[in-house]
Structure 1
Amino acid sequence: MTKKNNTTPPAPKTKPVYDYDAIIIGSGPGGEGASMNLSKRGQRVAVIERHSDVGGGCTHWGTIPSKALRHSVSRLIDFNNNPLFVEGFHKPRTWTFDQILKQAASVVTKQTRMRTGFYNRNDVNVFHGNAEFVDNHTIKVVSESGIETITADKILVASGSRPYRPQNIDFDHPRVYDSDTILSLTHHPRHIIIYGAGVIGCEYASIFRGLDCKVTLIDSRERLLSFLDVEISDALSYHLRSSGVMIRHNETYASVEGTDDGVVVQFESGKRLKADALLFANGRTGNTDTLQLDKVGLKANHRGQLEVNEHYQTDVDNIYAVGDVIGYPSLASAAYDQGRIAADAMVDGKAEAKLIGNIPTGIYTIPEISSVGKTEQELTAAKVPYEIGQAHFSSLARAQIANAGVGCLKLLFHRETKQILGIHCFGVNASEILHIGQAIMEQEGEANTIEYFIRTTFNYPTMAEAYRVAALNGLNRLF
């Protein structure tokens, strides 16, 4: 006779109940891309934004205001250089920095309203305050009105970045600025020193010089924007210098001293410069230092960035990260795509989609720069047999009509296959013109060749016609 087993089987494990399926820290491009995709996929989503309005640094301090400033200054330069408008005027029209800020502010307001509507229409709850990890499923939101704790199955860090601030520079001094605080500039400097000749530094050098300020641009390297094709980089240097920008290469500051009426910068080379203001634009750091990452076993590197895998997953399985907090490419456009891809991974466990291999770069100097694919120096180092096709804007009817003859389109293509390997554009609307070539470059097989631009018909006169001119120029070089 067998003995009955009266042992009660263990109860099945119940899945934890969370307030949300996903919490997104940050409402910039990466956070927005993730939250919209998650919402469309039926997830309950909360977004935490430390600023009083959504949009992140991209909308309020970075991309949108700086490009709005640049556009206004570019139109002012066009006006002052156009014989149709300046005839009869004895001196050029001028604006002050605070005057053009008003136009930028109106754009920021429109963008904020639009993005607020995105969250409202998609039933995404937005919490305003600073986010802090309690554990890997719990976030504490600290605001002026108090502390609120929310939980989620998955968490995405999309907190963006901020300007790097060395400790030996007093950024509280009223004449010392970074790329965020420069938007609060109320006086119009006669002379500004811009320390850091990266993308942000070069863009602001164009802006201030266009407002008739004396500009000294300090570069710690031998060449401006060394990641660009050499010819494009050289063209930028030439046009900045011809506009009146003083560029000093291979310089490193030793000290910065704020005075009652300006700033004195002492360099390690022994040089000493004085100006009305200093814009320090030398690097950025990820906004991770206040997140209490140690509570979940994560650690950012010295630049405040987190390591992720191909699905944007950190070392903690349910925590993901996108955008500036993971480093390259640190572009708003890429961050948005990263957010959408990470959202798929958060729901499905993995993401099939990937960022495109050739990510375009837009640099809003005056003139504008945009590029995608390989540079000449990269192709030469890899021993790839390539040829060049160029179209100078000065020869295009549309550019002549618009008085926009400065610049060129440069195509790099394989000598045998004629495959497009790189596209580089310098001049008016470069970031728009580039996308025509990028679309062809992304095609497969024979569709991705320079001959496409010979076979197709372009509207005339247009700036897009530069592709046909450049393609013919390149093919004529073959033998």
Structure 2
Amino acid sequence: MEQYDLVIIGAGPSGYAAAMRAVDLKKKTLLIEKSVLGGAGITNGALSSKTLWELSRDMLAFRKNLDRYHMQSPKAVWKEIQLEVQNAVEERVDLLKSHLHELQKNLKYSPYIDFIAGEASIVSEHIVEIETSNERLAFETENIIIATGSRPRYLPNIPIDEKHILTSDGIEQMDDFPKSMVIVGAGVIGCEYATIFSGFGQTKVYLIDKGDSILPFEDPDVVAVIEKNLEAQGVHIHRSSSLTHMERKNGKVVYKLDFSDGHQETFEVDKALVSVGRVPNYENLWKEAVPIKMGQRGVEDNDTKTSVKNIYAVGDITADINLVNVGELEGRYAVEKIFGTPVKKLVYENISTIMFLNPEVAGVGYNEKTAQEKGLNYKVVTTDYSTIARAVAKRNTQGFIKLLVTDDEEMKILGMRVVGEQASAAIQAVALLINMNKGIEELAECVHPHPSITEGIQESVRALLNKSILKSGLLKDKVNCYCYNCEKNERAMI
């Protein structure tokens, strides 16, 4: 029986990253994938949906510019959109395949990496079996990393068929733009798809929201911008509503809602998208003799280590944050933990995120809701995009920068949200400072390119230091600083 230092089950973002780190450390590694290299990070997930978002954003901007020149807007062709998404997915998968192939040909790397396409099963703590298309294989290994990812969550009372009632696995396989669509779930993914389909301008979108507002984990000022734009694009938000029934009827989708004020309504649409989270892929992955503990949301892990001493879990199969960048981080970290000591501890508080909405929303660290839940006193500055020359030049000043720091002399950065054009490009410097546990002085005097969105971050920092060009509170809703006292639960302008 062939032996390995490490067997990795799943070649999505976390598994592939883990394998490449093991290659760095010259450990004999077997990577196993039963479906497609890249996993849901590429197919029916991050890359494919974000390609849809980019195309939708282009179409929305195109329509707006045509209005400016009094020209009639053409319609997007779904088959062409679908083909572009498929091309993006194939490009990325081909890149990973080519890279893996070159690794296995290269004498420097080939002793450390093998790949098998098949379905794996952990028979014991050190034995992994693989069922391929024509044989069953078994291998011995010192260590195992589980990186099998996740799939869309189904609700028991919704008859999902991936034709009329869909999840993200089926949404890209539609024959055409539906004339109407309801989205169940007003979290990040639901709001992203509402943004995408309303942006193309050919689908009336309905969004079911159990609460009073979408994105319930975000601050109200962030939510207000996104809600305003969704509704401006024709999205109807069913606020304070509960889905009580959904069925396929005569080629349509009929759904019934109970509202918090006691009344009921029934609606009919062409398609429904169920976006209520994801569940880990672990079924039939290990035998009963392997005592891996499961929690309510996935495999229980302590710093990527499972209840079995030589088996680790990374990515969406755990109860941690389900993001591609987090999965890659966990995969690399687990390998370093197995074969040595990681240089840095694995932390989740300062992960950079982006929500592909209209406009995009980038974040790192705490927002006000989180800071208040943790009982922190803080200072905050908000700087409107209308004060940033680059945003003015782009003729798109909707959005703002919001920076939280500790309410003391050090003013260490707690978190930031950027809502607006190029938000994701503006956040990384602050993410680095948070990771380094630094204050804001470094940003105050850094010379930023002009004009750029990051100049707005610099002006925000200067406002907190009382040396801004635009003084806080003088221009209504442009630049404002205030402090929050946790014990008193009150704000005070600075």
Fold in common (TM above 0.5) = yes
Deviation at 1:381, TM superposition (A): 4.5
Paired position in structure 2 for 1:55: 38
| 1:81 partnered with 2:64 | yes
Check conservation: 2:361, 2:423, Cα contact below 8 A: yes
Following the alignment from structure 2 to structure 1, what is the Cα–Cα distance between the partners of residues 160 and 252? 13
Following the alignment from structure 2 to structure 1, what is the Cα–Cα distance between the partners of residues 446 and 337? 40
Deviation at 1:372, TM superposition (A): 1.1
State the secondary structure of the residue aligned to 1:238.
helix
Deviation at 1:62, TM superposition (A): 0.4
Following the alignment from structure 1 to structure 2, what is the Cα–Cα distance between the partners of residues 182 and 453? 43
Which residue identity lines up with residue 362 of structure 2 in the other structure?
S
Which residue identity lines up with residue 377 of structure 1 in the other structure?
K
Paired position in structure 2 for 1:118: 99
Check conservation: 1:179, 1:200, Cα contact below 8 A: no
Distance 1:32 1:469, change over 3 A: same
Check conservation: 2:121, 2:128, Cα contact below 8 A: yes
Deviation at 1:330, TM superposition (A): 1.3
Check conservation: 2:8, 2:30, Cα contact below 8 A: yes
| 1:38 partnered with 2:22 | yes
Following the alignment from structure 2 to structure 1, what is the Cα–Cα distance between the partners of residues 296 and 79? 35
Paired position in structure 1 for 2:485: none
Deviation at 1:414, TM superposition (A): 2.7
**C-alpha RMSD over aligned residues:** 2.1
Choose which of 392, 396, 408 in structure 1 pairs with 2:400.
408
Check conservation: 1:255, 1:265, Cα contact below 8 A: yes
Deviation at 1:334, TM superposition (A): 1.0
State the secondary structure of the residue aligned to 1:210.
helix
State TM-score, norm by structure 2. 0.87
Distance 1:306 1:241, change over 3 A: same
Q: Which has the larger radius of gyration?
A: 1
Check conservation: 2:162, 2:171, Cα contact below 8 A: no
| 1:435 partnered with 2:428 | yes
Following the alignment from structure 2 to structure 1, what is the Cα–Cα distance between the partners of residues 373 and 276? 28
Deviation at 1:336, TM superposition (A): 0.4
Deviation at 1:142, TM superposition (A): 2.3
Choose which of 454, 463, 467 in structure 1 pairs with 2:457.
467
Which stretch shifts more, 399-408 or 260-269?
Answer: 260-269
Paired position in structure 2 for 1:108: 89
Choose which of 344, 354, 357 in structure 1 pairs with 2:336.
344
| 1:424 partnered with 2:414 | no
**Structure 1 unaligned blocks of 5 or more:** 1-16
State the secondary structure of the residue aligned to 2:42.
helix
Superposed, which structure 2 residues align to 1:161-176 within 5 Å? 161-172=150-161, 174-176=163-165
| 1:209 partnered with 2:190 | no
Deviation at 1:389, TM superposition (A): 1.9
Q: String of CA shifts for 1:197-243, please: whole Å, max 9, x gaps.
A: 11111100000001111000112233322222332122222221222
Deviation at 1:359, TM superposition (A): 1.1
Check conservation: 1:97, 1:211, Cα contact below 8 A: no
Check conservation: 1:24, 1:156, Cα contact below 8 A: yes
Deviation at 1:268, TM superposition (A): 4.3
Paired position in structure 2 for 1:239: 229
Paired position in structure 1 for 2:489: none
Following the alignment from structure 1 to structure 2, what is the Cα–Cα distance between the partners of residues 314 and 42? 24
Distance 1:164 1:395, change over 3 A: same
Superposed, which structure 2 residues align to 1:178-189 within 5 Å? 178-189=167-178
Following the alignment from structure 2 to structure 1, what is the Cα–Cα distance between the partners of residues 450 and 255? 51
Which residue identity lines up with residue 69 of structure 2 in the other structure?
E
Which stretch shifts more, 162-171 or 280-289?
Answer: 162-171
Check conservation: 2:187, 2:216, Cα contact below 8 A: no
Deviation at 1:88, TM superposition (A): 4.5
State the secondary structure of the residue aligned to 2:279.
strand
Which stretch shifts more, 186-195 or 135-144?
Answer: 135-144
Superposed, which structure 2 residues align to 1:318-337 within 5 Å? 318-337=310-329
The count of aligned residue pairs is: 454
Paired position in structure 2 for 1:149: 138
Superposed, which structure 2 residues align to 1:204-283 within 5 Å? 204-212=193-201, 213-269=203-259, 270-283=264-277
Check conservation: 1:373, 1:423, Cα contact below 8 A: yes
Deviation at 1:352, TM superposition (A): 4.7
Deviation at 1:18, TM superposition (A): 4.6
Following the alignment from structure 2 to structure 1, what is the Cα–Cα distance between the partners of residues 287 and 333? 23
Distance 1:162 1:440, change over 3 A: same
Check conservation: 1:134, 1:140, Cα contact below 8 A: yes
Check conservation: 1:230, 1:377, Cα contact below 8 A: no
Following the alignment from structure 1 to structure 2, what is the Cα–Cα distance between the partners of residues 94 and 354? 50
Distance 1:125 1:376, change over 3 A: same
Paired position in structure 1 for 2:12: 28
Distance 1:410 1:118, change over 3 A: same
Which stretch shifts more, 110-119 or 71-80?
Answer: 110-119
Paired position in structure 1 for 2:149: 160
Deviation at 1:99, TM superposition (A): 2.4
Check conservation: 1:133, 1:295, Cα contact below 8 A: no
Following the alignment from structure 1 to structure 2, what is the Cα–Cα distance between the partners of residues 62 and 286? 14
| 1:289 partnered with 2:278 | no
Deviation at 1:245, TM superposition (A): 1.1
Superposed, which structure 2 residues align to 1:131-146 within 5 Å? 131-146=120-135
Distance 1:414 1:317, change over 3 A: closer
Deviation at 1:293, TM superposition (A): 4.5
State the secondary structure of the residue aligned to 1:294.
coil
Q: String of CA shifts for 1:20-66, please: whole Å, max 9, x gaps.
A: 21111111111012111111111111111111x31111111100000
Which residue identity lines up with residue 230 of structure 1 in the other structure?
P
Check conservation: 2:162, 2:169, Cα contact below 8 A: no
Following the alignment from structure 1 to structure 2, what is the Cα–Cα distance between the partners of residues 291 and 402? 51
Distance 1:428 1:75, change over 3 A: same
Distance 1:150 1:390, change over 3 A: same
State TM-score, norm by structure 1. 0.89
| 1:130 partnered with 2:123 | no
Superposed, which structure 2 residues align to 1:311-390 within 5 Å? 312-348=304-340, 351-356=342-347, 357-390=349-382
Q: Identity of paired residues, percent?
A: 27
Distance 1:415 1:314, change over 3 A: closer
Following the alignment from structure 1 to structure 2, what is the Cα–Cα distance between the partners of residues 451 and 229? 26
Check conservation: 1:215, 1:246, Cα contact below 8 A: yes
Deviation at 1:342, TM superposition (A): 0.4
State the secondary structure of the residue aligned to 1:77.
helix
Check conservation: 1:390, 1:473, Cα contact below 8 A: no
Which residue identity lines up with residue 451 of structure 1 in the other structure?
E
Which residue identity lines up with residue 412 of structure 2 in the other structure?
Q
